[in-house]
């Protein structure tokens, strides 16, 4: 199993551009999460999903959108990129929120100039 | 949302035991306690989790207070590779489906 796969690993954007961070998991997990981590800080929850067709806001959703059309994929869309969105983004999934292991992707480092 | 509080940083000597505390005074009866750690420049990785009883695995032990308002992650013999940020999180009724990470504890291991 590949686990949780994120693409791209690195990206530089100009202010105002848009892009999508891709996240795919092959473990048939229902729960998926997007986090951002600023330098020297902890993880902040952006959006999460409990299954295909269901998404909800986390702690810091402004400036982002998500969709969950399949169990496997949970893309994160950045509209009108701003320097404040410069961060490392992590996608995670788990099969059961109480007893399972939360699997993380390797992260996507985004710089907005 | 479920809240946990941890010390910002701790130090340990190599090959000595480390006890990392976590307070979760608002925990509900059905919330699970999870520990993750993040090595430098990597994504977080699972360490251990439990509900009421103490738990052991190959990486660490989890000691849960009788009233469940606190827990302690125990690394039996710290190695240099254990230098990381350790996060204590809750899942269950209190947090619903969210998984919220606090700032964690940055553990330094001194050779």
Whether cis (ω within 30° of 0) applies to the bond prior to B57 is no
Region label for A10, one of left (φ > 0), alpha (ψ between -120 and 50) or beta (otherwise): beta
* Test mutation, B44, B95, B106, chain A, max A CBs within 10 A: B44
Alpha-carbon distance of B62 to B11, in angstroms, equals 19
- How many other CB atoms are there within 10 angstroms of residue B107's CB atom? 21
Paired tokens of B30: 């059905």
Task: Report the candidate in B19, B36, B11 with the shortest Cα–Cα distance to residue B74.
Answer: B19
pLDDT classification of A1: cutoffs 50, 70, 90:
low
The string of pLDDT tens digits covering residues A46-101 is 999 999 999 999 999 999 999 999 999 999 999 899 999 999 999 999 877 666 78
pLDDT at position A2 is 77
Q: Are strands B18-23 and A108-112 parallel, antiparallel or unpaired?
A: unpaired
Residues of B in contact with A105 (CB under 8 A): 43
In the sheet with A64-66, reading across from the earlier edge strand, the strands are A4-7, A19-25, A76-78, A64-66
Task: Report the candidate in A112, A89, A80, A111 with the shortest Cα–Cα distance to residue A21.
Answer: A89
Alpha-carbon distance of B92 to B89, in angstroms, equals 10
What burial letters (b/e) apply to B65-93, b meaning 16+ CB within 10 Å?
Answer: eeebebbbbebeebeeebbbbbbbbbbbe
Residues of A in contact with B98 (CB under 8 A): 45, 48, 58
Paired tokens of A47: 């959006």
| B43 to A106: CB separation less than 8 angstroms, yes or no | yes
Cβ atoms of residues B6 and B105 within 8 Å: yes
Smallest Cβ–Cβ distance between B104 and the set A33, A42, A106 belongs to A42
Smallest Cβ–Cβ distance between B97 and the set A42, A50, A99 belongs to A50
Per-residue pLDDT of chain B (111 residues; tens, 9 = 90+): 558 999 999 999 999 999 999 999 988 888 889 999 999 889 999 999 999 989 999 889 999 999 999 999 999 999 999 999 999 999 876 556 788 898 899 999 999
Smallest Cβ–Cβ distance between B97 and the set A35, A48, A101 belongs to A48
DSSP at A51: E
């Amino acid at each position: 199993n590949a686990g949780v796969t994120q693409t791209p690993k690195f990206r530089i954007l100009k202010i105002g551009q848009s892009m999508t961070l891709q996240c795919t998991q092959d473990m048939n997990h229902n729960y998926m999460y997007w986090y951002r981590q600023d330098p020297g800080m902890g993880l902040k929850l952006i959006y999460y999903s409990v299954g295909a067709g269901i998404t909800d806001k986390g702690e810091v959703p402004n400036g982002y959108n998500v969709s969950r059309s399949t169990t496997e994929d949970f893309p994160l869309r950045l509209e009108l990129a701003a320097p404040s969105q410069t961060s490392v983004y992590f996608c995670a999934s788990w099969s059961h929120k109480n007893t399972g292991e939360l699997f993380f992707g390797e992260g996507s480092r985004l710089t907005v100039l | 949302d479920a809240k946990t509080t941890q010390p910002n940083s701790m130090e340990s000597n190599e090959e000595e035991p480390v006890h990392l505390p976590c307070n979760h005074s608002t925990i509900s009866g059905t919330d699970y306690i999870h520990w993750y750690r993040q090595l430098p420049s990597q994504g977080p990785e699972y360490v251990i989790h439990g509900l009421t009883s103490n738990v052991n695995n190959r990486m660490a032990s989890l000691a849960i207070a009788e009233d469940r308002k606190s827990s302690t992650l125990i690394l039996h013999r710290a190695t240099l590779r254990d230098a990381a940020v350790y996060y204590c999180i809750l899942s269950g009724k209190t947090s619903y489906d969210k998984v919220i990470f606090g700032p964690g504890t940055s553990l330094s291991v001194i050779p």
